[in-house]
Amino acid sequence: MRICVCVSGGGTNLQAIYDAMDDGRIKNAEIVRVISNNPGAYALERAKAHGSEAVCISPKTFPDREAFNEALLAGIKECNPELVVLAGFLVNVPACVIREFKNRIINIHPSLIPSFCGKGYYGLKVHEGVLARGVKVTGATVHFVDEGIDTGRIIAQKAVDVCEGDTPEILQKRVMEQAEWIILPDTVSKIAAGEIKIGE
């Protein structure tokens, strides 16, 4: 199964998928291209180190949003993926991409959707919201991407305890280690094995 992964930052979720491919937890799948909107994303270095094509498609290099959207669609279509994975991709995916890859795009979100998600909830802001509300349990969610923000069908979730004295950074790391880096590779593995259907 050909996979295209879209990233914006450090790429630890991308790395978790690579690690699962290397140790056999994910079979019959290959990350053929990694696309980032951010030229400085360390995720692009991780891609090159693992032999994937690493491509930067930055909105800053296009005259307007429409031109960027078209370039992003072309950049994804060009590698002919069966599955598109958003792994810390901080760009609102344009409708043209959602339509072209209907039910073939999955995203990892660092909370238990429908809590702490939607507009403005990304990266550390998610964990700041969790701590401010005082919930005792949080976690991560893998979901299909539709035209809303974090509104697509939920595929997998994993809960993580909020601990006394947690800072947003400490909580983010625990959610990554104990949830994100587990359920995202596991979901990719199940899709590659045909246990989770896509494109329907």
Binding letters toward ligand GRF, positions 60-99, x by CB under 6 A = ---------------------------xx-----------
CB of 77 or CB of 125, closer to ligand GRF = 125
Structure tokens at 9: 């930052």
Cβ 194 to ligand GRF shortest distance, Å: 26
Query: Where are the alpha helices (H) located in 5-123, listed in sequence order?
Result: 12-22, 42-49, 65-77, 95-100
Cβ 55 to ligand GRF shortest distance, Å: 16
Q: Residue 52: which of 35, 38, 39, 40 has the closest Cα?
A: 35
First CA to last CA distance, the chain: 16
Binding letters toward ligand GRF, positions 2-41, x by CB under 6 A = -----x-xxxxx----------------------------
Q: How many of the other CB atoms lie within 10 Å of CB of 69?
A: 19
Rounded to an integer, what distance in angstroms lies between the CA atom of residue 139 and that of residue 171?
A: 10
| 109 in active site | yes
Cβ 108 to ligand GRF shortest distance, Å: 5
Distance of CA 42 to the CA centre of its chain: 15
Rounded to an integer, what distance in angstroms lies between the CA atom of residue 21 and that of residue 18?
A: 5
CB of 147 or CB of 177, closer to ligand GRF = 177
Tell me the catalytic residues.
109
Binding site for ligand GRF (CB under 6 A): 7, 9-13, 43, 87-88, 108-110, 123, 176, 180
